[in-house]
C-alpha cells in the first residue's frame, strides 16, 4: 500500500482520516512533538526513513487568537513550517496536499461566494500566514494541491480530538445551559468531517493546483444553529440563543471542484447526515 504522511495528523481531521483509509493506505500521523515542522533536518530525516508517497500538510496554529497573540510562533509554524515541508517534498519527489482555509477571504469587501480566481484579502494574522504558505508552496513545487477548506464539524468520539464546531458547540451549549451568541449575518460553508475525509484522497486524481474544497451553505450561522436545535427536538423559542449582528461572508464557490467530479452535500443536508449517523434523527 502507498504511504501518506499527514502532518498535524493527531488532530481533529488526522485521527479520523487514519482509521477511515486504513484498508487503502498506510497513514503516518506523527504529533507535533514527534515531527516539528519548524525543524527542516527532522523533516528531512523523517522523509528519508519513511519514504511517503504523499504528504497531506495539516499542521498549523489554527487559533486566530493565538496567532494574533504570538505572531512569531504562528509565522514559524504556518509559513516557515510549510516551506520546510515543500522543500523536502521537492527533494524527495513527493506530491503535496496543503490544507488551507476560507479565512484568506476574511477582509474581502465584496460578497461571496469566492472563486479560486478571487484575490484574497485576509484581515487576521492566521489568514495572512495561510496565504503566505500557499504562495511559498506554489513557488517551491510543481506537484501540489492547495485546498481551501470551509469550517469542519463533527461530534466527540472516544480517543479522538474534537474542535469547537457548529454541531457539537450547539449541542454542548444546550446541555450546559450556556447562552449562545450567534450571528445572523455570518455566512460560511460548513462541512461534515467524514464527508471531507471521504473526498480527500480523490484529490490525488485531480490536476495539480488550487481548489476550494467543502460544502456550500445557503444559510447564515444563526439559521444553522436553529436547524440543529429543531432537528434534535429543542424549541428555539425557549432556548438561550441570542442574535448578534456581526457581518462576515467567507463563502467559497465549489464550481471548480464540482467540474472535476468531486461533490459535497450542502451544509444543511450535511448537518442532517451527521445527526442521523449519531442517532439524533
User: Higher pLDDT residue, 237 or 207?
Assistant: 207
Are residues 40 and 134 both part of a single domain? yes
Whole-structure pTM over 0.75, yes or no?
Answer: yes
Are residues 64 and 161 both part of a single domain? no
Q: Is 256 a member of any domain?
A: no
Are residues 136 and 162 both part of a single domain? no
Residue range 272-277: mean pLDDT, rounded: 98
CB atoms within 10 A of CB 186: 17
Q: How confident is the model at residue 226 (pLDDT cuts 50, 70, 90)?
A: very high
Are residues 179 and 55 both part of a single domain? no
Give residue 117's domain range: 3-152+190-213
Q: What is the pLDDT of residue 172?
A: 93
Q: Which residues pair with 55 in a beta bridge?
A: 5, 96
Are residues 13 and 142 both part of a single domain? yes
Are residues 269 and 142 both part of a single domain? no
Q: What is the pLDDT of residue 211?
A: 99
Q: Is 164 a member of any domain?
A: yes
> DSSP secondary-structure letter at 47?
H
Give the sign of the dihedral formed by CA 249, CA 253, CA 254, CA 260: negative
Q: Is 257 a member of any domain?
A: no
Q: What is the pLDDT of residue 234?
A: 87
Are residues 172 and 246 both part of a single domain? yes
Q: What Cα–Cα distance (Å) separates residue 78 from each residue in 2, 27, 191?
A: 27, 22, 22
DSSP helix/strand/coil, 152 = strand
Are residues 8 and 140 both part of a single domain? yes
CATH number at residue 12: 3.40.50.720
Q: Is 126 a member of any domain?
A: yes
Q: How confident is the model at residue 238 (pLDDT cuts 50, 70, 90)?
A: low
User: Higher pLDDT residue, 174 or 53?
Assistant: 53
Q: How confident is the model at residue 237 (pLDDT cuts 50, 70, 90)?
A: low
DSSP helix/strand/coil, 187 = strand
Are residues 13 and 35 both part of a single domain? yes
CATH number at residue 233: 3.90.25
Are residues 21 and 120 both part of a single domain? yes
Q: Is 16 a member of any domain?
A: yes
| Residues 266 and 195 sit within 8 Å (Cβ to Cβ) | no
What's the domain count of the chain?
Answer: 2
Q: Is 110 a member of any domain?
A: yes
Q: What Cα–Cα distance (Å) separates residue 274 from each residue in 153, 168, 217, 253?
A: 9, 11, 15, 22
Are residues 138 and 15 both part of a single domain? yes
Amino acid at each position: 500500500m502507498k504511504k501518506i504522511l499527514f502532518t498535524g495528523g493527531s488532530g481533529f481531521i488526522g485521527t479520523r482520516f487514519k482509521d477511515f483509509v486504513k484498508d487503502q493506505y498506510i497513514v503516518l500521523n506523527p504529533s507535533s512533538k514527534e515531527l516539528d515542522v519548524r525543524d527542516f533536518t527532522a523533516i528531512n530525516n523523517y522523509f528519508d526513513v519513511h519514504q511517503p508517497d504523499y504528504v497531506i500538510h495539516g499542521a498549523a496554529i489554527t487559533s486566530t487568537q493565538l496567532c494574533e497573540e504570538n505572531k512569531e510562533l504562528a509565522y514559524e509554524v504556518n509559513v516557515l513550517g510549510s516551506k520546510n515541508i515543500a522543500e523536502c517534498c521537492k527533494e524527495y519527489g513527493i506530491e503535496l496536499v496543503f490544507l488551507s482555509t476560507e479565512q484568506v477571504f476574511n477582509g474581502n469587501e465584496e460578497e461571496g461566494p469566492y472563486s479560486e480566481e478571487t484575490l484574497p484579502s485576509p484581515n487576521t494574522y492566521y489568514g495572512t500566514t495561510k496565504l503566505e504558505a500557499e504562495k511559498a508552496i506554489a513557488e517551491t513545487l510543481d506537484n501540489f494541491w492547495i485546498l481551501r477548506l470551509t469550517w469542519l464539524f463533527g461530534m466527540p468520539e472516544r480517543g479522538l480530538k474534537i474542535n469547537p464546531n457548529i454541531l457539537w458547540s450547539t449541542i454542548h451549549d444546550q446541555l450546559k445551559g450556556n447562552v449562545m451568541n450567534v450571528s445572523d449575518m455570518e455566512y460560511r460553508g460548513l462541512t461534515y468531517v467524514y464527508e471531507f475525509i471521504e473526498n480527500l484522497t480523490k484529490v490525488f486524481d485531480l490536476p495539480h493546483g488550487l481548489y476550494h474544497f467543502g460544502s456550500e451553505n445557503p444559510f447564515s450561522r444563526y439559521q444553522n444553529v436553529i436547524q440543529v436545535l429543531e432537528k434534535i427536538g429543542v424549541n428555539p423559542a425557549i432556548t438561550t440563543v441570542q442574535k448578534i449582528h456581526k457581518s462576515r461572508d467567507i463563502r467559497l464557490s465549489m464550481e471548480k471542484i464540482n467540474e472535476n467530479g468531486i461533490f459535497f452535500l450542502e451544509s444543511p443536508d450535511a448537518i442532517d447526515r451527521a445527526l442521523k449517523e449519531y442517532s439524533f434523527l
